[in-house]
Structure 1
Amino acid sequence: MASRLILRIHEKQTRLTSAEKKIAQVILENHDIIETHTATEIANLAGVSKASAARFFRTLGYADFEEIRLQAREERNQKQPYRQTVVTDSPTSLGRSIGDHLELELRNLTRSFEELSSYNLIEATNILSAAPSIWFLGFGAEDGIARTGRAIFSQLRHGVHYISGIGEDWSSDLAMVGPRDALVLLSLDARPKIMRSIINYARTSRMQIITLTDHSYEQQAARFSNVVLPCHVASYGLLPTHATILSMLRLLGIAFAGKNPETAKQRAETLEAIIEELDIME
């Protein structure tokens, strides 16, 4: 998959000409076409001229089509099959564990954001912008991430909540949800049985569901979610990693603030005024 090319296409999508959009559509529908077809063949499939194809690739920041092909081959050669757990026989010393940890976290982050669809990010942002209320939900270790999500979005808008299920009392929080509310579900393996019941209730209540989950669960999550934002979360099996899912949450917050600058500004001013009135900061 030519993931860096796909990322550039998503970033430039709104600024492409009609001919360039046709080429982009051909590539987006078949990511491997870069390695199997020439620039002329891709132009023919898109129904545009070879000159339009050349301008398209320059618009994306490439010198020529050959540079794109070399990049695609490099990505294919480096890409490893996705694993939830990385197995290593190397002895673990402090220096090695730090380096291995950094390398794995960077790989998870890089692959997640290279493969992230800008359409999904925009759709998720639209849902959060239109929602009367936003609810964050996580289970197990992801419960803390749900609290973080609430803290992030509480700085950007009103009506942000956290479904706690304290004492297994899910009904108290769920009784307050309404149509068009957004449920941000943070779900990594393993998943409790109660999750299915809560999802069914959310769908019955006509909530819009945004799921941040591990890459291997993307297809299952798509069955009940309006938008899925998959994250690579490979680890060495000792502890789950939340670096990518936390970064994805922050990206959602940034995208929301970008779409709703006045709302975010007013919220910040309100919070600042309350903090000043309460005199709680030194």
Structure 2
Amino acid sequence: MPESSLERRIKARYEAMSAVEQKLSDVILASPGQLAMQTATELAGNAGVSKATATRFFRSLGYDSYEQARREARAARSAGSPLYMQDRGKEDANTSDLIKHHLDQEIANIYQTYQSLDRNELLTIVQAVANARRVVIIGFRHSQTIAHMFRSNLIQVRADILLLPSAGDSLAEYMADLGPQDLAICIGLRRRMPQLEAAMAALHEMAVPMLYLADVLAGHPARLASWIIRCQTESSLMFDSNVSVSAITNLLCSLVGKELSERKSSYLQRVELLHQQLDELEKSP
């Protein structure tokens, strides 16, 4: 959150507030995302205070008006803050309705993401991943969960896959020897960290081809990528959906595996033989 966020402003002066202001603060802090959708009159009514009190309250926090605070709440909601989306699903009458709406949204995300794919570009991406000397996969924060999944699938069909950032290390040592013959897969889902754009800018200067897997907005890093796949991540609940990102990861890795398996020497075959030789996997009954 920015230093001047609504939550910080309230907490900074909460103890000095009147009982009425504390009551209003409690309503806001319990569900700050509601601020994005309510008028000052609606907020005052929910808190049991007058509109004039609500207006003075926001000015006392340093806002020019209630509308300025409301725009801030809308921006936080748009950016994917779970704090500002925790009220999602409250309109569902029961758990069955909530689950149905969630499932409907998940299905829609996968369908819309697949519909948006450029088939020719997808083939170009698959061939680039298959033919690259090395592949680095970069993901920060929750995007690294997808990066881990991408690597765990891709390492089964080709060698020289590196997941960044490695724990306790900086990026520079791993990026210094990359060039046009390599490829970077960059995962940048909503609430991206600035380090992603910095890493992609450096890779761009080094002429490293980049696949950027992102949400539909994609953000500033998109301008640096060779290819972009935009995934639908809309959710009916507080956390963004990753189902379409997971599906695209599965699709890409499977297609790369198919591309490589048609060649004379199959890395996948050698991996499976070593699994057996090393007795690494549980045997089927």
Asked if TM exceeds 0.5, the reply is yes
> SS in structure 2 opposite 1:132?
coil
Q: Which residue pairs with 1:226 in the alignment?
A: 226
Q: Which residue pairs with 1:211 in the alignment?
A: 212
Q: CA deviation at 1:138?
A: 1.0
Q: CA deviation at 1:216?
A: 1.8
Residues 66-102 of structure 1: CA deviation (Å, up to 9, x unaligned): xxxxxxxxxxxxxxxxx88795552363222221111
Q: CA deviation at 1:122?
A: 1.5
Q: CA deviation at 1:190?
A: 0.9
Counterpart-to-counterpart distance in 2, 1:270 and 1:176: 27
Q: Which sections of structure 2, spanning at least 5 residues, go unmatched?
A: 1-77
Counterpart-to-counterpart distance in 1, 2:246 and 2:212: 13
Listed as ranges, the matches of 1:169-180 within 5 Å are 169-180=170-181
Q: Across the two proteins, how many residue pairs are aligned to each other?
A: 199
207-216 or 253-262: which moved more? 253-262
Q: Sequence identity of aligned pairs in percent?
A: 18
Counterpart-to-counterpart distance in 2, 1:84 and 1:111: 21
- Is 2:164 aligned against 1:153? no
Structure number with bigger Rg:
2
TM-score relative to the length of structure 2 = 0.63
Change (3 A) 1:101 1:260: same
Letter in 2 for 1:191: R
Q: Which residue pairs with 1:71 in the alignment?
A: none
Contact 1:257 1:264 in 2 (8 A): no
Q: Which residue pairs with 1:137 in the alignment?
A: 138
Counterpart-to-counterpart distance in 2, 1:105 and 1:84: 19
Letter in 1 for 2:279: D
Listed as ranges, the matches of 1:67-216 within 5 Å are 90-91=91-92, 93-167=94-168, 169-216=170-217
Change (3 A) 1:279 1:101: same
Moved over 6 A (4+): 83-86
Q: Which residue pairs with 2:244 in the alignment?
A: 244
Q: Which sections of structure 1, spanning at least 5 residues, go unmatched?
A: 1-82
The CA RMSD measured in Å over matched residues stands at 2.4
- Is 2:222 aligned against 1:254? no
Residues 223-282 of structure 1: CA deviation (Å, up to 9, x unaligned): 111110111110135112211111111111222233332359712221112112212223
TM-score relative to the length of structure 1 = 0.64
